[in-house]
Amino acid sequence: MKLSVLIAFSLSLGATAFAPAKSAPARTSQLNAAVERRTFVAGLATVAAASVPLAANAYSPEYKDIRQIYGLGVSLDKLLEKVSDPDKFDAALDGLVAFNRDPDFFVGYARNFIGKVVKNNAIADPRNGYIRQASNLIGSCQGLLEGREGLTGKAASDEAVKRVKEAQNLVAKFLAESGVEDEKVQAFVAAHP
């Protein structure tokens, strides 16, 4: 819409900007309105520019738009391996500490993606909730593995596996509803129903 207004404005200015002084006699229409040729051409150009249909919501999502979200889902497979073995908790904690430095990164990334795809009210789109919930689940594993939630050893491992799998399912749900047609994305979604 902004582009058509800009085009119309520039065409209307261009129609009169370099024209010689108005010396042509005005023509009268049936309604007894004085219409000059330049005014008529400027009005016609404005109407033509404004009537050009623009693709307001014709954006088709691509893999590059959700690459980071897909990367999050794939990295959860590696995290799942680490949290399933209590001996590898330290390796898992390194990644979780790094993740918790900016836990809203993926939420913001998802919001930006949805803002491109959805015309109005992208913030209220339910897909934002999928990534927010997945990020909260992933971030909560740090306290769990550090023993701050009262579970240790195998019990903590089982709970962490449960949370990571739920986060994977939420990421897969986001990817499935993203509209991106890519083999890697579809394979990830199929692997995490």
For the whole model, what pTM was predicted?
0.66
Whole-number mean pLDDT of the chain?
A: 77
The structure tokens listed for 157 are 């491992």
Q: What is residue 27's three-state secondary structure?
A: strand
Cα–Cα distances (Å) from 27 to 14, 19, 20, 39, 43, in that order, read: 22, 18, 18, 11, 15
Whether 187 shows a pLDDT value over 50: the answer reads yes
Whether 53 shows a pLDDT value over 70: the answer reads no
pLDDT at site 165: 92
- Residue 150: Cβ within 10 Å count: 8
Give the least confident one: 65-69, 107-111, 138-142, 144-148.
Answer: 144-148
Cα–Cα distances (Å) from 48 to 18, 39, 43, 58, 75, in that order, read: 20, 14, 9, 21, 52
Nearest one of 168, 181, 193, 187 to 73, comparing CA atoms:
168
**pLDDT tens for each residue of 135-147:** 888 888 888 888 7
Whether 170 shows a pLDDT value over 80: the answer reads yes
CA 94 to chain centre: 29
Whether 88 shows a pLDDT value over 80: the answer reads yes
